[in-house]
Structures are given as structure tokens and as C-alpha cells.
């Protein structure tokens, strides 16, 4: 990366400060479950606590989820009904969302795994359907659209294959504007390449190699190099071996105090201790698109994971736009709305496109504002 091709909104550059040892181990929803400790405290946590958190990390948690889906108890039904009242379906509240967008430019932010593609055992086989790709392609014709993923940017691009989108890989630590496609209003973002954790690249490569070797002895464990972060997957690891895997990861991480650990769906995520996440990436992209201090923008972020909560929280704190959580099960979230699964995400995107088409037809001379 040369200095010349980096375009960084000033405010953002200032806020990328190193915050070694200040970030929580598991950031979501831990206040309740007791993980409030900083990363140093996090590494000191007992392996049992790691394993408990690993168990709680995915709503797909096998048997319990299946049993709940098949025959939910009265308590579970009530809990679900209360949750849905607080986070109604974005499909059933579509009109409400649309009316909030009046006179505003909708900007779309989409997580990848579990949002555009279904969760599968093999991370290398998490393909999105052609129908979903068409929906996203059409969406980007009308609204600036960004993919915000924990995966490395090149890899998520290989799955999505749409050059007209913005991509924020490695949990937002690798942002690039579209290679081609519509020129959006004030779109200096087109030329953006922003990598706030580039100093960490050698360390992340080293940690990937060490973790790869170390976890080889745990059947089913998979280590994924996401360029500015590393994922240790345990979806295919027998639950009895989770504590062994946690020990292995912990023993490596204690040698790297400048890295921290967060958690996703059956995955431990190792990343630099810079104050940067999907929420910061969302703000960066809004700024790059020229919407920094505007009231005429409605950001909509759709995601399924703990790491997406950073973006939901930014929207909630700004009082602008909406977060939409993809989940079949009640979860503590800063999102306003919910969708149950990727197929519903696709329905929502299709409705947005259809609504925009019809409104442009009805007002042919009104600019679509992009
Ligand atoms: O931010 P995302 O785009 O949601 O990426 C988060 C992680 O997604 C991937 O792992 C998840 O999906 C896999 C495929 O369905 C699944 O096997 C795994 O259990 C999930 O955690 C990806 O492989 C990770 O690198 C991302 O960090």
C-alpha cells in the first residue's frame, strides 16, 4: 500500500488510536454473563469461562435450538413474543422503514456470513445464491452499498463478486471503494483504500502460523487468515475438546498483548487492539460518501453476529438509520428490527429495490440522489 492511494477522512484518521489492553474479551452481551474484563483480564479468565462463552456464542447451538424450534416452551414463546415486539420484523414494518427514508438517501451496509449466505460448516463453502447476488446487484443500482465482513476483503469479494460495491473486510480494518459502477453523490469514496491496522500485518501473519500449528492436534479446528485478523473456528470441534482449543488459543495470545480476542458464531476472532470495528467502518464509509454530518441520509445495516453490534450501536447512538439483526432467536441487540434468516434478507432487499423503482416511475423527473 502506498501513501498516495490512501484517502482517509481526517476525523477518522485521528480516532484510530492504539488502545492496548482496553477492549473487552467478549463484547456481547457480556455485562450480564460476566465478561467485562479487559483483554489482560480476559486472558487470565479461567478456561471454564471461555468455554461457557463459546457455548453461548451461536444461536445454532445444535440440539437446544432444534428442540426450541420444534416445541418451544410457553416461557420461550413469551420471551420470543416480547423480543419481537422490541425488534419487529423489518418485513412487517417495511412501510415504517420507508417512511423514515423520505427525502433521505438510503445507504446499505450488509454483513456477509449468516446475512447474505447461510451459515455452513466449512467457511470456504459459504457461497451466496445467484438470486441473492442479483438482489444485491440491483440494490447497488439504487443505493450506495457496502459489504462489511470479518473475512479478509479479497475473500469476501470472491464470494460476492460485485465490483460496484464498497468492501470493508477484516471487521472493517480493510476498506476499499468500488472498482466500477455508479458514481454516487459526493463519492470521493470511490478511490478509498483505508487500512488502519497495516502495522499489524506481520504480527497477524505470525500469529496465524503459530495458531495453525498449535491447533493441528485438535480435530475439526480451523484457523483462517483474514489478513488483519485471524479466525479460529470450532464449529466442527467436538464440544469435549473446546477447553483444549481454548487453552491452545490462550497460550498463544498471552505472548501477544497487542492483540485482543472477540467472539463470533462458533469462532474466536483475534485482532489488533486498535479502536476500530464495524461501527467505525460504517462511520468512515458514511464520511467518505459525503454524509458525515448530514441529516439527509438513512444508513441501514443488516447483520447477524456479535461483531455487527458495534455498527448497530453506532446507528443507535447517532439516532440515525436502523440496524436489522438476522436471527431466529431472541438475542440482546442494539438493532431496531429483525429478520429471521438470509432468505428474509433477500426479500427485504427485493422490496427495497421494488419500492425505489416504483417511486422513481411515479416521479420520473425527481433525481434518485445518487
Ligand atoms: O462478518 P461476517 O461476514 O459475518 O464474518 C464473520 C465470520 O464469518 C465466517 O465464519 C462464520 O461463517 C462460517 C460459514 O458459514 C461458519 O462455518 C462459521 O462457524 C461462522 O463463524 C468466516 O469464516 C470468519 O472468518 C468470519 O470472521
DSSP conformation class of 18: B
Nearest to 328 by CA among 3, 167, 89: 89
Q: How far is the CA of 265 from the centre of ligand 1 (A)?
A: 7
Q: Would you say the CB of residue 113 lies under 6 angstroms from ligand 1?
A: yes
Give the three cell numbers for residue 47.
Answer: 478456561
The whole-number pLDDT of residue 192 equals 86
111 is catalytic: yes
pLDDT digits (tens, 9 = 90+) for 252-289: 999 999 999 999 999 999 999 999 999 999 999 999 99
Inter-CA distances, 75 with 66, 85, 324, 325, 337, Å: 16, 15, 25, 22, 22
Inter-CA distances, 31 with 24, 25, 36, 100, 211, Å: 10, 11, 6, 32, 29
Q: Would you say the CB of residue 120 lies under 6 angstroms from ligand 1?
A: yes
pLDDT at 226 exceeding the cut of 50: yes
Q: Kindly report the protein residue whose alpha carbon is nearest to atom 19 of ligand 1.
A: 266
Please state the ipTM of this predicted complex: 0.99
Q: Would you say the CB of residue 356 lies under 6 angstroms from ligand 1?
A: no
Inter-CA distances, 108 with 31, 152, 297, 301, Å: 30, 20, 11, 6
pLDDT confidence bin for 143, thresholds 50/70/90: very high
pLDDT at 17 exceeding the cut of 50: no
Q: Which of 111, 277, 304, 305 is catalytic?
A: 111
**Please, what sign has the CA dihedral across residues 298, 167, 151, 36?**
negative
The whole-number pLDDT of residue 368 equals 54
Mean pLDDT of 147-168: 97
Q: Kindly report the protein residue whose alpha carbon is nearest to atom 8 of ligand 1.
A: 113
Q: Kindly report the protein residue whose alpha carbon is nearest to atom 23 of ligand 1.
A: 123
pLDDT at 186 exceeding the cut of 60: no
pLDDT confidence bin for 73, thresholds 50/70/90: confident
The order of strands in the sheet holding 322-326 is 193-194, 174-176, 166-169, 145-148, 105-110, 297-303, 322-326, 337-339
Is the pTM above the cut of 0.90? no
- Residue 59's Cβ-side half-sphere holds a number of Cα atoms within 13 Å equal to 17
Lowest pLDDT segment from 120-134, 171-185, 201-215, 229-243: 171-185
Amino acid at each position: 500500500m502506498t501513501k498516495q492511494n490512501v484517502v482517509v477522512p481526517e476525523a477518522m484518521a485521528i480516532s484510530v488510536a492504539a488502545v492496548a489492553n482496553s477492549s473487552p474479551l467478549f463484547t456481547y452481551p457480556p455485562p450480564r454473563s460476566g465478561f467485562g474484563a479487559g483483554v489482560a483480564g480476559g486472558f487470565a479468565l479461567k478456561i471454564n469461562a471461555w468455554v461457557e462463552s463459546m457455548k453461548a456464542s451461536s444461536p445454532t447451538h445444535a440440539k437446544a435450538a432444534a428442540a426450541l424450534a420444534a416445541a418451544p416452551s410457553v416461557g420461550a414463546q413469551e420471551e420470543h413474543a416480547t423480543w419481537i415486539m422490541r425488534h419487529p420484523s423489518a418485513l412487517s414494518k417495511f412501510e415504517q422503514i420507508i417512511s423514515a427514508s423520505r427525502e433521505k438517501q438510503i445507504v446499505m451496509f450488509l454483513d456477509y456470513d449468516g446475512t447474505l449466505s447461510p451459515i455452513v460448516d466449512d467457511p470456504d463453502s459459504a457461497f451466496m445464491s445467484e438470486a441473492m447476488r442479483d438482489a444485491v446487484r440491483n440494490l447497488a443500482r439504487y443505493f450506495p452499498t457496502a459489504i462489511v465482513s470479518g473475512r479478509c476483503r479479497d475473500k469476501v469479494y470472491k464470494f460476492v463478486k460485485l465490483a460496484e460495491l464498497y468492501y470493508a473486510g477484516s471487521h472493517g480494518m480493510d476498506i476499499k471503494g468500488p472498482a466500477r459502477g455508479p458514481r454516487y453523490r459526493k463519492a470521493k469514496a470511490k478511490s478509498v483504500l483505508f487500512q488502519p491496522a497495516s502495522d499489524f500485518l506481520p504480527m497477524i501473519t505470525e500469529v496465524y502460523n503459530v495458531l495453525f500449528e498449535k491447533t493441528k492436534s485438535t480435530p475439526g479446528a480451523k484457523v483462517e487468515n483474514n489478513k488483519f485478523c485471524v479466525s479460529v473456528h470450532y464449529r466442527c470441534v467436538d464440544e469435549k475438546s473446546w477447553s483444549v482449543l481454548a487453552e491452545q488459543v490462550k497460550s498463544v495470545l498471552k505472548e501477544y498483548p497487542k492483540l485482543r480476542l472477540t467472539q463470533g458464531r462458533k469462532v474466536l476472532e483475534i485482532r489488533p487492539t486498535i479502536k476500530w470495528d464495524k461501527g467505525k467502518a460504517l462511520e468512515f464509509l458514511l464520511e467518505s460518501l459525503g454524509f458525515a454530518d448530514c441529516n439527509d441520509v438513512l444508513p441501514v445495516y443488516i447483520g447477524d453476529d456479535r461483531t455487527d453490534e458495534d455498527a448497530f450501536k453506532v446507528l443507535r447512538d447517532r439516532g440515525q438509520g436502523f440496524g436489522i439483526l438476522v436471527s431466529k432467536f431472541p438475542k440482546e441487540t442494539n438493532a431496531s428490527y429483525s429478520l429471521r434468516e438470509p432468505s428474509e434478507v433477500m426479500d427485504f432487499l427485493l422490496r427495497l429495490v421494488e419500492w425505489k423503482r416504483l417511486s422513481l416511475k411515479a416521479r420520473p423527473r425527481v433525481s434518485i440522489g445518487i
